Structure formats: structure tokens, C-alpha cells
Structure 1
């Protein structure tokens, strides 16, 4: 009897081991190679249908990894589905088609510049547990959508009429009302518009992603739009427009955002809140980042369409060769998007900016020359709330004259850009219409004499 018990226990143990091995094997994600669905990496064949077939089958079978291996694969719009990760290997590139007719628009809207948006190379609508990974690249072929190139393409296709062919320039990546999104290790390049747009999406991780986006206009890096629970870390972003932009083109807020250990370079703004700002921005933590050679502003916090911005911490930021290191604006533009109702004027409160070390651009390369370090302004009827500046060091070229001491326009409803206020009557900080400004250790230096006052605070 004892031997029988031992045998049964041993058999059970072996059975459990075999079951564990089977479960472990079954947990390995299924791999779907797009070549098996007819894709060709010759840079000429348009592979939209083949890649979409692979994604659809992967999702239908419970999920897995759709792999793009060695080659250059041209494509129009492809849509990620539930439980699918698109993996682009190091020797592979997904290249956007040069033909606008190969793209589709999801959740079309008009942005703050009046342009129609919504087309994309890779998109997702209402998807969950999706991702893009691998050390390969996604290239939007953005120069193909320059007006002169679109004209040539339109003529070659025999398209006549006055319709704005290719006017809805495609984003590189666009995620709409989706959740559990992971972007990791991928290289994003040369979109026709924004590189990566998250709209009304959540539970997002962007880790070790590099972005180079200078092919066209409005070449943003990452746009977080009415989305929440987001981590962005270890990224390198070099963009023609805003590098990381927190915005809301709907009344829904953008919140619970953490950004860390990123290197940013931009021709318009590195860290930006707005300008599209209907929904609130709160619980935002941005830290330990470097901003290099940026023409349009280092940190820009803008509420002009009704957003209430609060509980924001930005700290440990190093800026080199930047225009206007800090710009905070509460305005009354009140633009609407997607047929929503106009919001009331918003607010800016409980914002803390600390441990900032910045060197501005020189007199010959500043958008406003001579430059200033900080501009903070509300409006006469709507003042900024509590704002704290701690341990701020800014090096400026100087060069201001007494003739620069003129009244700064209010421009309550104008597009919020620091350069529109022209030369400021203070070289270090000009602040007005703010209820509570707390300053601790503000160190402003100039290379040459500046005859403007260092700080000017006006009610």
C-alpha cells in the first residue's frame, strides 16, 4: 500500500510538471510574420492590406505579436486591435505611403490652427492592451505631404478640382479612446504632422522612444490630449514643433502624467501645456529632463480655452540655448473643438517650478531680442492663482535699453505666444495679474549690461 501511495504522489508530481510546462509554453505570445500574409519589404509595394490581415488574425486568435522583419515596408493606415503588439525589428522600417488616398481618418477634428486632423499611419480606435516595440523605425515620409509634392502627386494621379488633396496630413501614431498602450524602444521619424497623439486614452507607457520630426509643419513629438495615467521616460525627442505637449481638444481633462529622464529639442516649445486647453490639466509631474537648443520656449504653461491647471510640479530641468525658459499664460481665447460648448475662462493654481538651470539663446538668435527669462501673465479680469518658483538660475545675454521700457499689451484673446508680447520691460522676470507668487532663490545673470530692471511685478 505504501508503494502505491508513493507511486501516485510521484505520478501526480510528474503530471503537475508537465502541466506547468504546457501552461508556460501556451503563455508565450504567438508570432505573426507579415511576410506570411503577403507583405513585401521592397519599399515600393503598398502593404496596408497584408499588415492589417496579420493584425486582425492575431487579435481574433487572442493576441500576440505581429512582426515586421528585415526590409522597408510601405503602407497606408493600419489599425491596431485588442491584445496586439506590433514589433518592428532593428533591420526593418515601416514607411508611410506618399499617396494621401492610402490613409483613413479616425475621429476627425479641427485643431487650434484651423487644420483638419485625424489621418494616421498607425492608429487605434477603442482598442485595449496594444503596443509598438522593437528597435526598428517608423517613418512617416512627411516631405511627401509638402504642398509642392502634393501638387506633383495630384497631377500624376490625374486628380482635378479644387479639393484640398492631402490636406488632412497624417499623424505617425494616433490612439483614440484606447487603453493599456505601450510604446517601447521604437524610432519614430518624419511625420507629415504630429508624431504621436493620444486622445481620450489611458494607462499609457512610453519608454526609451526616440523621435526625430522635422519633415513638415506642426511636427510635434508627443501630444497627450484629454488622456490620463501616463508615464513617459527615457525618451529623446527632437521636433520641429512642441516636443511634449499636454493638451485637451475636448472638455475631458489630461491628468496623472509623469515625465522623467527625457532629452528634448524643439523649434517651438519643449515642455508645453496647451494651446488647445478645454479640459483641465492636473496631477502632472515632470522632472530630471534636459532641454537643448530650443527656439520657442523651454517650459510653457498655457490655459486659454477654459482649462483649470493645478497640482503641477516641474523640477530638475536643465536648459541650454533656449528661448524664454519659463512662460505662464492665463488667457481668454476660449476656442472650442468637436462642436462642444464654449468653456468659462480657466485658472492656473498650485503650480510649482523648481531647480531650473537655464541659458538662453544669444541676441542674434533669439525670437525676441534682447530676451527675457520669465514671463507670467493673467488678464485684468482673471488672475493667476498660486505659483511657486524655487531655485531658478537663468543666464541671459543682456543688451536691453531704456527705450525697451514700454507697456506690454494685454492681448487677452490672442493666440498665447511669448514672442507676441515683444521685448519685455524686465530682463529677468516680468509678472502681472497674479494673486500669489512665491519666489525662493531666483538668480538672474547677464553677460553684458542690461538697462531694464531685473524683475517687474505688476498687479
Structure 2
């Protein structure tokens, strides 16, 4: 299935009044008993396969080729879906490859296994739309590669709860920041179309939803090779920030809780400076969540802030070149254990 959604045929924001009216390749709403099997989907103008409030979905042996066609080319977007099995598939996307959203209802009982995934943005992302939450999710036996903006991203920023998330047996090659867990307060309630871009957040205010929760995340048996991947001829601070450490961050008064990282091996590029080590990291409570928005962090291995009961079990982090920053930095953290 070829969407033929090239930049020339479907320019960004070319609709009336500058609206971005590019079509998705496929969109299903409130559907049940869906099966996707044995096909290749490619070249969407906008998102690829978008499922909203669907139940009992099986995706197996499909190929998504959506990496170099247009912009915002997500692979799979599961928004408020239940009982989903995604397995044995090849997913290559420009934007988020496997993306769980919950604009209204929770994503619940989601299984992802045996997939080969690349993305210029993220191979696996929960959020940012999160008002319904993410409950009972299991991701295993996947290969993520060539993902310069990061690996695993778990986010609650519009309310909702994240509970019982298990991610295991993941290999990540040539990726940016390997793990990003973020509890924020954008507070979107989805009653209007509001800007979600990357402007200076200094004057931003929450949009009305209550702050959500992240409790009970377990990530185990992961091997990751983090690399700096410049877009131009030289490495910019933005390029460097994209290849940052593990980051687990809540906001003042709202902590990320009960996170276990076990049997994790990460190789980092190093090259952090003494100036990086002294940086004050902004809170950015209301901003759209991307790790590199925080800039270079004062740790090269893991930066943890506003968190409770975080446990590192057999987490090995190494450098390929020198770095002036600390290996692990803790800020407003209760109950951190490293075994």
C-alpha cells in the first residue's frame, strides 16, 4: 500500500489558513477485531497507521517503510487501544515508530515483540498524549537501530497514569539517549487544537489537566550503543544533547516512582566538558517532552530528578572517550539503590 505522500505532492501546512491537512495512510476509529498481516505500507503524507479506541488488534509480519518520504511520518500510532499484539514486523519511520497515545482512553494490555525498528525520532514512545494512561504493557525481543533522537521514551504529561510497564531483551544500536522517563505538566485536555512545538517554554502554563503518575516501570536485559549523530558537518550542542544519558525526571511535588533497571549495558561516546558538568538543568514542566530540550546534562551515565524508589540492578555504563561529568547525578531523589 503506497500512499505516494511525497513532500511535493503534500507540502506541510499548505491547507487553508496554513493548516496541515496532510492525510494519514490508514486510520481506524472505534473498531474491533483488526488484523494486519503480510503487507508492506509505505510513503504516507503524514502518519502511517493510526488506530483510535480500537480493541483486539493483531499486527504480524508487516513492513512499514516511512523513513525518508515526508515529515511527521509515524509508523504505528495506537491511541486509547486495548488488547493489541504487534509482532514479527519491520518498522522504519521518519517520526515515532511504535507510539502509544491516550488522548481520551487508556492504552491497556499491549504486547510488542520480535520487531526490527528504526526511526529518526523514537523507536518506542508512550505519550506525549497521555490523559487516559498506559497500563499493562509488555515490550520484548526487539532491535532498535539508527535512532538519533533516542531509544525508549515513556512520558506522562497530560494527566493519566502509567503502571505495570515491562520492557525487556532490547538491543539498541546507533541511538541517542537510551532511556527517557518523563512526568511533566503540559496538562492538555484536548478540547482545542493548541501548539505543541519547541518554542521557549519560559512563559508556558499548564492547560488544565491534573498531573498524572508514573509507577511500576521495569526495564531489563538491554544493550545499547549511544552515538552522536550530527546533522551537519560539525557537532552542535543540540546534536550532543540528543546523545545524552539515561534520564528519569518528574517535576517538583510529583515524583516518578518505583522504577527498576536491571541487566543494562550502555556504551556512551563521552566528550562532556567541565562546563556541561556545572549546568543548571531547567524544569521545563509544561514543555513538549523531548530529552534534548533540557540541553547537555551534568551526568554522562544517568540523570535522575524528582523520583522515588529507583533501583539500578547490574547496570553497567562505560565511556568510549573522556568525560568531565559525573557518572550519575541525583537531584531530589528518595530511595535510590544501586546494586
Same fold (TM over 0.5): yes
2:113 maps to: 260
Q: What is the root-mean-square deviation of aligned Cα atoms in Å?
A: 2.0
Q: How does 1:352-371 map to 2 (within 5 A)?
A: 352-362=218-228, 364=230, 367-369=238-240, 371=243
> Bigger relative contact order, structure 1 or 2, given CA contacts below 8 A and separation 6+?
2
- Secondary structure in 2 aligned to 1:404? helix
Deviation at 1:351, TM superposition (A): 0.5
Q: CA deviation at 1:457?
A: 1.3
User: 2:319 maps to which residue?
Assistant: 446
**TM-score (norm. length: structure 1):** 0.65
Larger Rg: 1
Within 5 Å, which residues of 2 pair with 1:115-194?
138-143=1-6, 144-147=8-11, 163-164=16-17, 167-194=20-47
- The alignment partner of 2:254 has SS state of coil
Say which SS state the counterpart of residue 276 (structure 1) adopts. coil
Kindly indicate whether residue 168 of structure 2 is the aligned counterpart of residue 315 of structure 1.
yes
Question: 1:291-334 CA deviation, whole Å, 9 max, x = no partner?
Answer: 01101110000100002001000000000000101001000001
Output the CA distance in 2 between the equivalents of 1:258 and 1:418: 25
Work out which of the residue numbers 249, 258, 266 in structure 2 matches 1:394: 266
Counterpart residue number, 2:143: 290
1:8 alignment partner in structure 2: none
Q: Distance in 2 between matches of 1:166 and 1:141?
A: 20
Question: Helix, strand or coil: the match of 2:285?
Answer: coil
Gaps of 5+ in 1: 1-137, 152-161
Whole-angstrom CA distance in 1 between matches of 2:128 and 2:271: 31
Listed as ranges, the matches of 1:344-423 within 5 Å are: 344-362=210-228, 364=230, 367-369=238-240, 371-405=243-277, 406-423=279-296
Q: How does 1:420-439 map to 2 (within 5 A)?
A: 420-439=293-312
Following the alignment from structure 2 to structure 1, what is the Cα–Cα distance between the partners of residues 157 and 19? 30
Matched residue SS, 2:35: strand
Asked whether the 8 Å contact 2:244–2:292 carries over to 1, the reply is no
- Please, what TM-score do these two structures have when normalized by structure 2? 0.87
Contact 1:145 / 1:169 at 8 angstroms: preserved in 2? no
Cα distance in 2 for partners of 1:377, 1:291 equals: 23
Q: Compare the two structures and name the one with the higher helix fraction.
A: 1
Say if 1:242 and 1:266, in contact at 8 Å, map to a contact too.
yes
